[in-house]
């Protein structure tokens, strides 16, 4: 990879972030990421380097020991990692999960946790989904019963990513049962769980789920987990909003990774299409090669434009949920389109692991489903923007 890539015009500040992150990424080449993919390992050396450079704490305000950056800077940082062939998804949650504490925590909670997280305490796990509550979050059953100064939690979580790479977990529970509340989003609460105690004591049993994309995710069985009441984030019973507000940042940062990976496919394909000769001329001369790449590139640029709009709205303190969801929708589709165009450009070599298209191709499918599916984003736009009847 070289830095001489196609790119949209960025502000000087964002350009500086892209350059500095590229310095880190340059040390972790294609072979490194292929090895990580093949062994299903966690890229700890890469993560350590980002932590040492202050990248993982960039969104924590300076008064708590972080970098005091805004979401657009984090967005270009993650885009850059993926553009270099890395996997920003291995660390993106460390950037935004702390936002739960930052936006909804008490002063004591912020003073206690944020400086530790800035120094490297790992909070990159969020337990929302359950076996019978995926898209329909309000159906969660994991229940936190208050006993004096402690919540006693029982239940199951599904798809809780990076538990083994986390010290803390943001856990969504019911404090009133689904059947006992009038509004289904009521009676849900957010707890901060210290995994360093909960896992060794057996209160949380962790079972890894093997998935196609090299993602580290797990099923959790929670048995009489004790959480101090002081670890309740936000108001009891009003946790749905706490979680949803954090998810907008997740969508924008995820979209940035998809844009980065989409551009990785374009960069690699353009270079290959110029070099590979078939019928005595470069394959890049053929419109059958050019047009799919040009279409994917145009769609990536469009996704990027609304991603910046969403990131700016978020940085200004607006919810920007629609823009964040549209950014996630368009970028995940454009990334997949670029992945397919890359496969067709590389021909048989696209399937050869060593060329670095195959692993990225696999990673490009999951984003159409998680963290939120294409269907659900469309259903949300149809209802909230277009005023059509609610289907979810």
State the binding string over 136-175 for ligand FAD (x if CB under 6 A, else -): -----------------------xxx--------------
Least separation, in Å, of the C-beta of 168 and ligand FAD?
13
Q: CA dist 95 to 171, 200, 242, 271, 310, Å?
A: 17, 26, 16, 33, 17
The answer to whether 204 touches 195, Cβ cutoff 8 Å, is: yes
Nearer to ligand FAD, 76 or 204 (CB): 204
Q: Please spell the DSSP secondary structure of 255-292, one letter per residue.
A: HHHHHHHHHHHHHHHHHHHHH-EETTEEGGGSHHHHHH
Largest Cα–Cα separation, the chain: 79
Nearer to ligand FAD, 291 or 392 (CB): 392
Q: CA dist 48 to 74, 75, 384, Å?
A: 17, 19, 41
Least separation, in Å, of the C-beta of 98 and ligand FAD?
15
Rg (CA), the chain: 21
User: Does residue 106 belong to the site contacting ligand FAD (CB under 6 A)?
Assistant: no
The candidate with the shortest Cα–Cα distance to 79, out of 33, 123, 15, is 15
Nearer to ligand FAD, 18 or 215 (CB): 215
Least separation, in Å, of the C-beta of 227 and ligand FAD?
17
User: Does residue 82 belong to the site contacting ligand FAD (CB under 6 A)?
Assistant: no
Q: Which residue from 53, 68, 134, 282 is in contact with ligand FAD, where contact means CB under 6 A?
A: 134
State the binding string over 267-306 for ligand FAD (x if CB under 6 A, else -): ----------------------------------------
Nearer to ligand FAD, 284 or 321 (CB): 321
Which residue has 């003073």 as its token pair? 111
User: Does residue 333 belong to the site contacting ligand FAD (CB under 6 A)?
Assistant: no
Least separation, in Å, of the C-beta of 47 and ligand FAD?
17
Least separation, in Å, of the C-beta of 130 and ligand FAD?
8
User: Does residue 382 belong to the site contacting ligand FAD (CB under 6 A)?
Assistant: no
Q: Which residue from 274, 375, 384, 388 is in contact with ligand FAD, where contact means CB under 6 A?
A: 375
User: Does residue 370 belong to the site contacting ligand FAD (CB under 6 A)?
Assistant: yes
| Three-class secondary structure of residue 159 per DSSP | strand
Least separation, in Å, of the C-beta of 371 and ligand FAD?
5
Q: CA dist 57 to 68, 81, 91, 155, 267, Å?
A: 8, 16, 11, 31, 29
Say how far apart CA 257 and CA 335 lie, in whole Å.
9
Say how far apart CA 389 and CA 392 lie, in whole Å.
9
Say how far apart CA 97 and CA 123 lie, in whole Å.
7
What residue spans of 4-157 are helical by DSSP H? 12-25, 30-39, 44-52, 71-83, 92-96, 99-104, 107-119
Nearer to ligand FAD, 215 or 328 (CB): 215
Binding site for ligand FAD (CB under 6 A): 126-129, 134-135, 159-161, 211, 215, 217, 366, 369-373, 375-376, 379, 391-392
């Amino acid at each position: 990879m070289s830095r001489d890539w196609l790119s949209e015009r960025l502000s000087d500040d964002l350009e500086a972030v892209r350059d500095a992150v590229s310095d880190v990424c340059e040390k972790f080449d294609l072979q490194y990421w292929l090895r990580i993919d093949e062994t299903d390992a966690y890229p700890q050396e890469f993560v350590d380097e980002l932590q040492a450079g202050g990248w993982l704490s960039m969104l924590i305000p300076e008064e708590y020991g972080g970098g005091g950056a805004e979401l657009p800077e984090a967005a270009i940082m993650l885009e850059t990692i993926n553009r270099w062939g890395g996997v920003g998804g291995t660390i993106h949650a460390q950037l935004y999960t702390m936002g739960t504490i930052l936006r909804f925590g008490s002063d004591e909670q912020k003073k206690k946790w944020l400086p530790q997280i800035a120094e490297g305490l790992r909070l990159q796990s969020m337990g929302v989904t359950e076996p019978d509550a995926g898209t329909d979050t309000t159906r969660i059953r994991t229940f936190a019963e208050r006993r004096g100064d402690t919540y006693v939690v029982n239940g199951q979580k599904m798809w809780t990513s990076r538990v083994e790479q986390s010290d803390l977990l943001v856990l969504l529970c019911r404090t009133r049962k689904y059947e006992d509340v009038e509004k289904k989003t009521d009676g849900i609460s957010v707890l901060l769980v210290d995994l360093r105690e909960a896992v060794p004591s057996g209160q949380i049993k962790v079972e890894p789920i093997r998935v196609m994309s090299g993602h580290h995710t797990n099923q959790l069985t929670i048995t009489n987990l004790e959480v101090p009441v002081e670890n309740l984030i936000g108001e009891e019973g009003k946790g749905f909003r706490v979680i949803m507000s954090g998810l907008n940042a997740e969508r924008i940062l995820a979209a940035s990774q998809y844009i980065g990976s989409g551009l990785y496919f374009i960069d690699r394909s353009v270079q290959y299409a110029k070099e590979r000769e078939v019928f005595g001329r470069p394959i890049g001369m053929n419109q059958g090669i050019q047009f799919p790449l040009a279409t994917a590139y145009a769609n990536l640029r469009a996704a990027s434009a609304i991603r910046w709009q969403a990131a700016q709205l978020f940085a200004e303190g607006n919810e920007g949920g629609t823009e964040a969801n549209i950014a996630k929708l368009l970028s995940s589709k454009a990334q997949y389109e670029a992945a397919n165009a890359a496969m067709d450009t590389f021909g048989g070599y696209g399937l050869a692991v060593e060329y670095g298209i195959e692993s990225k191709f696999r990673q490009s499918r999951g984003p159409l489903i998680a963290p939120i599916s294409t269907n659900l984003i469309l259903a949300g736009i149809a209802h909230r923007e277009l005023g059509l009847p609610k289907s979810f």
